[in-house]
Amino acid sequence: MEAECSSSLDVNQEFRQLTISEIHFVTKNFDESLVIGRGGFGMVYKGTITNGTTHLVAAIKRLDSTSKQGEAEFWAEVEILTKLRHCHLVPLIGYCNDGEEMILAYEYMPHGTLEDHLHNFQTPLSWVQRLKICIGVARGLDYLHTGTGIKHGVIHRDVKSSNILLDESWNAKISDFGLSKLGPINQPSTYVNTVVKGTFGYLDPDYFTTGRLTRKSDVYAFGVVLFEVLSGKRAVDKSLGEEHLGLARWAQESVKEDRLEQIVDLNIKDEIMPKCLKEFARIADWCLDRNPKQRPTMAEVVVCLESVLAIQEKASNKLHHARMRKFGWAQVVAELGPMLNASRNYYTEKSKLKSEMIKEKFVNQIQQMYDDSQLVKIAKEQTMHSNLLTQSLGVVSKKLRKTEEKQPIVRDRTQGYQDQNMQEDTL
């Protein structure tokens, strides 16, 4: 079941070569105020590029002349992203190669990187959000490995949380293909002999020791990302101690010793269903198998993660409805307390407008708590309670009206007693 992805670029839209004058215009001559990122490659600027009648907000990556990432990696990224289009790959808008300037322009991703939200911003990403992000990355990698439609599949070679971008809808987009390699797609065990490159903490141990790069090297790195998402820990985390500096080893030992609850990020600990936690950890551990041949394909990972999401959502819905049946209307009635107090003010002050505002506020609060389908179901299941509630409100209103009607009589009688007492005192 493919997730809906958003992109202002059509999958068949051609990228184009950009002129250096156009780059200078959209970046205001590389104005420092437009910098949105810095890396080993250089600066990233935000600007708007015109493509025909379309205006695209872009992230413009300018390769630093002193960067370790050279011309070969620049052209590798251009070659791959100009051939491939997928909703879970960051779209390339264009490139510029003008003398010493080598520049790539991507579609801008408003929510930045997954790394930022896990480690830098401390964004409270929910467990379901994290699951959907992982599924998106897995689908993107599966496409690279086997579904590109070209003769060769693509091995990313640098899968990590900082290379996972998030669009305005929090959909995951794989980025940074400078280290990627092409490999035959009809032979799962085919490897590419290459100089070892990547990021420490995500590197496949087999690739590191043998120099043989396979698609299963991406699978290993993705396994590290899965544990990173689950635990909120970095791939290399000093808080784990010198013995367990690497997240992969620490997490695998936790799985083996059945200490799963201890590795879960506290921000999501209360959200995860036990069955989902166990299955998610099993998938991540499977990806980290020391033997590359024993690791799953990304297609298998996609299916497994979608199953975890389905279990989580089903269990969450059941728990929600169970709570509603047990406590739902009691909570609603409790919410009515302020409204009833305000109703007294209404009948005392005869303020119809205020009453309507209070009712509207109450309705908005309920709508924020439950979506439309839940409200419809609740209404059907609790018709009798609703009628009783309505009747109760009617009784309260009636009593308030009677109280109001009696108030002039009480005031008259009180005034009468006071006048009589004054006369007696005068005598």
Q: With beta carbons less than 8 A apart as the criterion, state whether 336 and 31 touch.
A: no
In the block, residue with structure tokens 């959209």: 26
Residue 345's contacts (CB-CB under 8 Å, 6 or more residues apart) are 351, 354
Tell whether residue 377 is among the known ligand binding residues. Answer: no
Q: With beta carbons less than 8 A apart as the criterion, state whether 144 and 163 touch.
A: no
Hey, what are 310's tokens? 């389905």
Indicate if 206 belongs to the active site.
no
Q: With beta carbons less than 8 A apart as the criterion, state whether 242 and 232 touch.
A: no
Hey, what are 346's tokens? 């209404």
State the catalytic residue, choosing from 158, 204, 218, 265: 158
Q: Which residues are catalytic?
A: 158
Binding annotation for ATP:
61
Binding annotation:
61
